[in-house]
């Protein structure tokens, strides 16, 4: 199902650099580059995630927590994004996720009014996760075999 995502309505997408078994995004990224879409990746800046516009061939450097990040920092309007692809350790059927516990992604997601799509492997989907104040659900979750919620 992940490979069937259509970018027809998206001009600007935030991707993530997959770590620790998160869903690989590289084929989606290459497809989006072919459409000349705006590609953004998060970077930790002073305990917040900020977006950096990237281009094909952008070199990533080891950033906070050992996660590769783009080297530059740029100011990006919250209204520019059409979609954010969201990583996670687990997702539930209501769109909530568990990450690696820093709370960075929930704070980041709360700033953007765009579509938020969690990318998961089937084994990462469960019926219900505990939800805490400040948790931001994804609008939809896409795995190898199913689509939950809104993804377009």
Is residue 4 predicted with pLDDT exceeding 60? no
Report pLDDT for 13. Answer: 94
- The CA dihedral of 37, 91, 151, 108, to the nearest 10 degrees, is -50
Answer for the pair 139, 132: CB distance below 8 angstroms, yes or no: no
- Of the pLDDT bands very low, low, confident and very high (cuts 50, 70, 90), residue 118 is very high
- Rounded to whole angstroms, the Cα distance separating 85 from 128 reads 20
* Its pTM surpasses 0.85: yes
Report pLDDT for 112. Answer: 92
Report pLDDT for 72. Answer: 80
Two structure tokens written together for 108: 């980041």
Residue 31 main-chain phi, psi, to 5 deg: -65, -40
User: How remote is the C-alpha of 41 from its chain's centroid?
Assistant: 8
- Of the pLDDT bands very low, low, confident and very high (cuts 50, 70, 90), residue 143 is very high
The 3-state DSSP class for residue 112 equals coil
Q: How many residues does the chain have?
A: 152
Report pLDDT for 37. Answer: 83
Task: Look at residues 87, 85, 57 and name the one whose alpha carbon lies nearest to residue 71.
Answer: 57
Q: What pLDDT, in 10s, does the model give residues 23-56? A: 999 988 998 888 888 999 999 888 888 899 998 9
- For residue 73, give every residue at least 6 positions away whose Cβ sits within 8 Å of its Cβ, in sequence order, or none: 43, 45, 50, 52
User: How remote is the C-alpha of 38 from its chain's centroid?
Assistant: 14
Task: Look at residues 30, 27, 9, 8 and name the one whose alpha carbon lies nearest to residue 119.
Answer: 27
């Amino acid at each position: 199902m992940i490979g069937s995502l259509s970018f027809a309505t998206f001009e600007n997408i935030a991707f993530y650099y997959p770590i620790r078994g998160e869903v690989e995004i590289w084929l989606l990224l290459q497809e989006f580059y072919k459409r000349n879409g705006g590609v953004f990746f998060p970077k930790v800046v002073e305990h917040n995630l900020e977006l950096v516009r990237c281009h094909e061939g952008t070199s990533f450097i080891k950033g906070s927590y050992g996660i590769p990040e783009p080297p530059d920092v740029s100011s990006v309007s919250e209204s520019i994004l059409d979609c954010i692809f969201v990583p996670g350790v687990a997702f539930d059927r209501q769109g909530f996720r568990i990450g690696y516990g820093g709370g960075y992604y929930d704070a980041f997601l709360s700033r953007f009014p765009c579509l938020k799509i969690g990318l998961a492997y089937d084994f990462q989907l469960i019926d219900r996760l505990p939800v805490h104040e400040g948790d931001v659900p994804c609008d939809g979750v896409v795995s190898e075999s199913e689509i939950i919620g809104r993804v377009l």
